[in-house]
Amino acid sequence: MTQNRGSAYVAVLGASMLVAVIGMAALTAVRADRVEALSDEDIAQAKANAISAGELATGWITTTPTFRSAYAGMRSAPGLMNAGGFAMPMGTASIELVDNSDGALDNEDYDVVLVRSIGRSGTAQQMFDVVLQPKGIALPILSNAVTTPGRIQVDSGQLEVIGGAAVSGGSTGSVSGSQGSFVGGTIMPPTAVVNRYANLGVAISPGVTMERHVLTTGFSSFGAPSAEGVYVITTTNDLVIRSVRVEGTLVIRAPGRRVTLSGQLFMTPARPDFPALVIDCHTLELAYDSAFDGRLVALSEFAAGANFNPPGAPWGGNTNSTNFDVYPSDIRGLVYTTGRVEATDYSLIRGALIVAEPAGDSVKIAGRLRIIHDPGLVTDPPQWFTSAVTMSVQPGSWRQRVN
């Protein structure tokens, strides 16, 4: 009897407990929803702050030529580059500049810069990366076909310039095409340009004659290839180069010596912002044969007895192991030399020639030298042949970063 009494209480209280638990769960869910909504608001603001900070940093870098040297000092000062961050209209942000090429931001104008921005709001944090790439402004002399502070002397044959002027300290003999006078104050590339390119390259040792060799970004007949396609020869002897194919930049350090390019050869830079040849020597002799004025000349694998497009060094997209391909015989790109130039054959440069030798007859012609100026040297100048370096956002490089 007593066992049944009070059963209604138990039933009602049980139901009450159930309803109460359900109610508490509903309230907890609503509270969680609210926290999530507030958190989403913070995330949205943090994201806006990160993008804004990245854009502000980009704006500062692109308008401040000294940003590389100024950055370190600004890390401890209040403001945009402060290491601890700075206030945004809503929330905060911080910026870090990263040089992934060598870790040192202020040692090289041509290093790519990664801008890392972090935006914060409440407890939320969002991160973005953007890449800024360097672009040089061409030295005015890159609009010339030939530039030399010395004199051009054509003893026999002809210097022919097309698409740009031959600018010199004076000329005698047959010069075809427009000419200009090298005036004081003309900015020449720094002589350190040879070593700067040398620092990027892979050393090779061909001896006194470099013949039947292939150098590209993916292949080197001397051993390990250079990813940038820059190969460096340092010698104390005279050097002769013939029957070679170089799709890259050849740096030759032969101070006081003669470097002769002869026979047939084909040289073109692997990168549009690199030159074809950078040479420190006493005399650069251009004695190689090119096809112009009806002459049929080519760099022939069969004639040279070498394969110039082995696996890793495609030509026109093709590689093979035969010796039956032919290539143009000329130099495409910028040729720079610290010494004088002598041209003794039918040689063609599709680019420009800079001869830094200031004294005497810095360019002597006893054959035919044709230079067809490449306007691409002005729009996309080789590194360090520039008057200034500007930074711009690499298209498509904005990325949200996740820890």
Footprint of other proteins (CB under 8 A) = 1, 4-6, 8-9, 11-13, 15-16, 19, 23, 26-27, 30, 33-34, 37, 40-41, 44-45, 48-49, 51-63, 78-80, 86-90, 93, 128, 130, 392-393, 398
In the complex with other proteins, which residue's Cβ is closer, 32 or 227? 32
Element (H, E) at 317: none
Q: Nearest approach, Cβ of 12 to other proteins (angstroms)?
A: 5
Task: Count CB-CB contacts under 10 A for residue 85.
Answer: 16
Q: Nearest approach, Cβ of 399 to other proteins (angstroms)?
A: 10
Q: Nearest approach, Cβ of 174 to other proteins (angstroms)?
A: 47
In the complex with other proteins, which residue's Cβ is closer, 178 or 390? 390
Element (H, E) at 170: none
Q: Nearest approach, Cβ of 173 to other proteins (angstroms)?
A: 48
Residues in the chain: 403
Q: 245: closest CA among 307, 337, 169?
A: 307
In the complex with other proteins, which residue's Cβ is closer, 38 or 227? 38
In the complex with other proteins, which residue's Cβ is closer, 52 or 174? 52
Q: Nearest approach, Cβ of 74 to other proteins (angstroms)?
A: 9
Q: Nearest approach, Cβ of 396 to other proteins (angstroms)?
A: 10
Distances (CA, A) of 340 to 55, 148, 283, 286, 360: 48, 9, 5, 11, 9
Number of helices (H), then strands (E), belonging to the chain: the values are 5, 25
In the complex with other proteins, which residue's Cβ is closer, 61 or 188? 61
Q: Nearest approach, Cβ of 389 to other proteins (angstroms)?
A: 17
DSSP single-letter state for residue 340 = E
In the complex with other proteins, which residue's Cβ is closer, 45 or 338? 45
Q: What would the DSSP string read from start to end of 9-64?
A: HHHHHHHHHHHHHHHHHHHHHHHHHHHHHHHHHHHHHHHHHHHHHHHHHHHHHHH-
CA-angle at 186, arms to 181 and 188, nearest 5°: 115
Q: Which residues contact 397 (CB under 8 A, 6 or more apart)?
A: 129, 130, 131
In the complex with other proteins, which residue's Cβ is closer, 16 or 237? 16
In the complex with other proteins, which residue's Cβ is closer, 27 or 104? 27
Q: Where are the beta strands (DSSP E) in 163-300?
A: 166-168, 171-172, 175-176, 179-181, 202-203, 209-215, 230-234, 239-247, 249-263, 265-268, 277-288, 299-300
Q: Is 197 helix (H, G, I), strand (E, B) or coil?
A: helix
Q: For the chain, what is the largest distance between any 2 Cα atoms, rounded to a whole number of angstroms?
A: 136
In the complex with other proteins, which residue's Cβ is closer, 80 or 298? 80
Q: Nearest approach, Cβ of 73 to other proteins (angstroms)?
A: 13
DSSP single-letter state for residue 315 = B
Q: Nearest approach, Cβ of 67 to other proteins (angstroms)?
A: 12
Inter-residue long-range contacts of 393-396, CB under 8 Å, 24+ positions, other chains counted? 393/58, 393/130, 393/131, 393/132, 393/133, 394/112, 394/130, 394/131, 394/132, 394/133
